Structure 1
């Protein structure tokens, strides 16, 4: 059975009317391990976050009013409160945990014609030493009456993927698809697919069997890999390997003729297809809208992740890495004030 991804997915909790009271809503959470386990790796991740702060159009005026001290780049706590922007960093005295938060208004919300625009956005970044690896994560939340506002992988997390050797289980998190081209790459796909330590969905884009230029895949694997980076693995499976996959994992989990299947974590040989979404030619058509397909699949994957309480609760907290009271008292009292203000919106 196939689904039409362009029409099937609907958020479970739509507001009753645009007048509903805005609330803070978590819209995206990405959290990965980094094999580059070192103080230098964590410093580079913090620098990437602060580089975003300095370059963001929404933050620029505030940063001119309150430039960061050099100590901020060394992992010290700081705060910025200017031009409608709130930004702060907290850190464990041990240096093993750094949490960054930046919050600003959405200029679109000032336009009467755009009632669905969020009132405010909040970006959080965490950089932590988890003992045997580093943890790098980003979160996006917004103040809105409309849940599940469209988002994409933040640029700072794309930097983490490109330069910090992020892994999911025993597989690298990539910004491009794995291309199955022969026996060795097929075995890597099978190993990743069946790995009990995999936590991200794995999206297999099957070939059409038409080897003419531009027709081998209905959905472009490269484009989908860029869109889903950080949220799912993407693998391109040519027609020559349809039967191999069907043989090795069971006929009910096969994927072929241009279809796209999302394999959730915990796949075992012989499983049925419950929960492992498949989107076929009937739903996508012969010339699917590439951008719409990718964005809609991203939307569905992130909502599924956020509905997992275990996943949301895996976000690292300062208390697990050090005593928050060890930070300067003035900074902490100011942070408490800023947090209370931001909660009020």
Structure 2
């Protein structure tokens, strides 16, 4: 083999090595950017109903085939610079020993991790569960991880949202069990805002949920009033307004008319009782007539009794 042929072989071998190195570098670069996480829209915000369950969505995909056994993921919260792990999955199985005991038996993956789902189901929601959660995914083939966050808002509304109680001069509404705090306002029958003549208080209860009480000093010339209650729907996370309507049954002075009827009936009842008492007293003091079998005895002590057609001395 000549020297020229040897040089050609060496050049060819160097070229092959260079190609292999380029492929390896390209593959390594691909692995560094292979992971992508997709979060829901609107980005990073979820509302969950108090004492029920919600989903913290997180989806991921790799640019090349990755086995489920090599996929690792954690859900965690950042509290004062410390990672509080909510859910951990590694080496093909859940790592419960790494999870915060406060979330024990309250979390699980919503779907199979092999389908690219890291969505977490969080159950029995508490008020303190509200906050920022981080979904972090990586592969054992490389150490770089991708992450995304979602903000959980816990909302509540009472099963029975309350009713309006009525009086001659005011309307009153009271209801407890709201989160976040609702916003009430009143309108009259002409759809004018009359909140300025109301007294409204919104206070947190011992359970952390809000109580709302609103009293409207009603104008008796107005026949109808509406209470508008704005709040966050726990199931949809959207703002919602419920309207409670009060309509006077007969007229604006229905309360005064009813009071007059009651007073009139009371007077007639008293008059009837007096008449009955007078009649009874007259009957008790009535003198016996001639047809009466009772005969008043004279003062002499003698008295006659009628027996058939004859009289006899007693």
Same fold judged by TM-score > 0.5? Answer: no
- TM-score, length of structure 2 as denominator length: 0.22
Higher relative CO (Cα under 8 Å, sequence separation at least 6) belongs to 1
- TM-score, length of structure 1 as denominator length: 0.21
Asked which structure has the greater CA Rg, the reply is 2
Which structure features the higher share of strand residues?
2
